[in-house]
A and B are shown apart, each in its own frame.
Chain A
Amino acid sequence: MLMDRYTLLQKIGIYAAIFLFLSFILLPFAEMFRTSLSPMSHLFHSPYEIWTTEFSFEAYSKMWEKVPLLGRYIWNSIYIATMVTTITMVFVVPAAYAYARLDFPFKALSLGTFLAVNMFTGAVLLIPLYRIMRTLGLLNTYWAMIIPGVAFLIPTGIWLLRGYLEKIPKELEEAAFVDGASRMYTLRRVVLPLAVPGLIVVGVSVFIGAYAQQYLFAITFNQIPELQPLPAGLNQFIGYQSVEWNQMMAAALTGILPVMVVFLFLQKYLVAGLTAGAIKE
């Protein structure tokens, strides 16, 4: 369209601005990757040099020896995030359906209550949570990291999934309902199969959130190294004398691989899904 046409100069300007903007966003990743390839002697060399002929993937094999539990940390991160996602979805699916389709007293008020949870981070509630976990004997178990994680993802999950369910044509449910199907049957056999794409997007969003939020609960509720997720386990690379920066960066990049892979496959749907609330009014 004519309106959208740019002059050559404008095009160059736009690309230059995009380049600058993305440089800021991606700089830490580029530097992390460069560091993971560099030998320590190069990193601790002054003056600062970006390039070296000694780049190698050595750190990616050495890191497993330096921190023997590294594989365990990454596994723990994935395990905790998977558990959080599964449990969260069990709570979210029925609630989101109710908010999308049904009419009931205190609907707006209860939805508001859910969303108000977003106002608190775990940090404000840590003291009683710590005591609850201690009383229940859950300190230093996976559950101490899973349970609070679920609570803080339920509201967002309900909000996102509600948006999806509202887009499914109502007539199909009404038809089933009129034919004498029970409400629960309609939900299970008519609505859920239709909602699969939405369920995947919300599930993945919850997974990414669950993968990202583990640090605080891990450093507060868990002291056992074997159960620690990766973000908390990474400080094992910080020794008494020096930090093995190249291995630490290699481990960090390896640790974000699972979310990056999930994200790459579903990014198109995710962006649309996560921002759906912004355009709907």
Chain B
Amino acid sequence: MVDIAERQPNAVTMAKRRGLSEAWFAWLLILPALAFIGVIVAWPLLETIRLSFTNADLGGESWVGLANYQKLLSTPKFYEIVGRTFFWMVLSVSFKMIMGLIGATLLNAAVPGRALFRMLIMPPWIIPIAIGCIGWLWLYNGQFGFLAGMSQRIGILNGPFEFLAYRNSAFYSAIVTDVWVGTPMVSLFFLAAMQGVSRDLYEAAWVDGASRWYRFRRITIPQIMPVIVSMALLSAIWTFNSFEIIWILTQGGPRGGTTTMIIDTYKTAIGNFKFGDGAARAVAIVVILGLFSLLYMGLLNRVNKHYGVK
């Protein structure tokens, strides 16, 4: 490109020369960020892949080929954990989407006070997850916590109940907390999308005598469907990777009842310093999430086409 620019000094080349310097300038601006991400995210990712073929621990490392993967794939527990992780993701994301839709619809209602309500929904999103979780830890306390205490007073429970001490109740408790953390963000994104829907559509339907519910079902939902679908993907990825909530509430217990892939990876690698085994688990997460996202992107394209979005 430099050659052409130098050989033909005319108007067209001027534009080209500018184009060239524009590209250089752009890359100059992006390079620092890209390099930083390269060192702190991309390189560690490659290093994780390499480590997964070694038996690295605190002492040292040597190449073991596929041994870590063979070991992992021949452990029945691993499949149990993968299954649980998907169950966790699907359940939690579904609830977040439903709560998000309910929240956005309520906040979108033309009633006095809605500016205040929009503000009051934000706190779980903006405070550190770890601090919100400590609040939930206390709510779930079986002896003195709000949930056990109130349930006893109303008569749902006859005695103390440790929500986090049993495999099932701990799992669903963690789901509730995860939904609590995720709902504000989903609600606000849906709300923003709802406000972007043209009022003409609603007015036309209203003039034709369409009920509120009909308008919601046949106008709002289709119009914001692209946002719902892409939000569900983002939310699915984050929920799949959700670490702090489970770690603070149960550390993956009791007896592995809340151990998802990310918790398993953390325990293996950082808890037991089995870097090689941990890396194999981390790679499994990346592969599964990658495949999932590809499938999902396909779906997203079809949804967008169906609803006529470019």
Contacts and interface: CB of A to CB of B under 8 A. Distances in A.
Contacts of B244: 215-216
B215 to A, nearest CB: 9
Nearest to A30: B146
Interface string B177-214: 00010011000111111011000001100100000000
Contact of A125 (B48, B149, B234, B243): B48
A104 B48 CA distance: 32
Given A3-B203, A127-B282, A212-B128, A14 B262 contact: no
Interface string A88-120: 001110110111001111010010011001111
B243 A150 contact: no
A9 interface: no
B120 A25 contact: yes
A204 to B, nearest CB: 10
A48 B150 contact: yes
Contact of B33 (A45, A91, A119): A91
Given A214-B128, A232-B130, A129 B40 contact: yes
Nearest to B115: A268
B139 A103 contact: no
Central interface residue in B110, B122, B183, B285, by most chain A CB within 10 Å: B122
Contact of A278 (B28, B33, B134, B193): B193
B87 interface: no
Contact of A91 (B36, B45, B103, B136): B36
Contact of A103 (B19, B134, B144, B149): B19
Interface string B12-50: 000000010111011111101110110011011101100
Interface string B137-169: 011000110101110110000000000000000
B65 interface: no
A22 B180 CA distance: 11
B282 A212 contact: no
A61 B25 CA distance: 55
A183 B23 CA distance: 12
Given A6-B111, A48-B149, A256 B128 contact: yes
Interface string A116-144: 01111101111111111000000000000
Nearest to B103: A21
Contact of A260 (B123, B135, B243): B123
B51 interface: yes
B32 A91 contact: yes
Nearest to B49: A128
A119 B286 CA distance: 8
A274 B169 CA distance: 34
B227 interface: yes
Given A124-B48, A125-B41, A127-B278, A267 B122 contact: yes
9 contacts: A18-B117, A28-B135, A91-B33, A103-B26, A150-B40, A151-B37, A183-B22, A260-B123, A278-B193
Closest 3 CB pairs of A and B: A48-B149, A231-B130, A275-B192
Interface of A: 3-4, 6, 11, 14-15, 17-18, 21-22, 24-29, 31-32, 35, 43-48, 90-92, 94-95, 97-99, 102-105, 107, 110, 113-114, 117-121, 123-132, 147-148, 150-152, 154-155, 158, 183-184, 208, 211-216, 220, 230-232, 234, 245, 248-249, 252, 255-256, 259-260, 263-264, 267, 271, 274-276, 278-279, 281
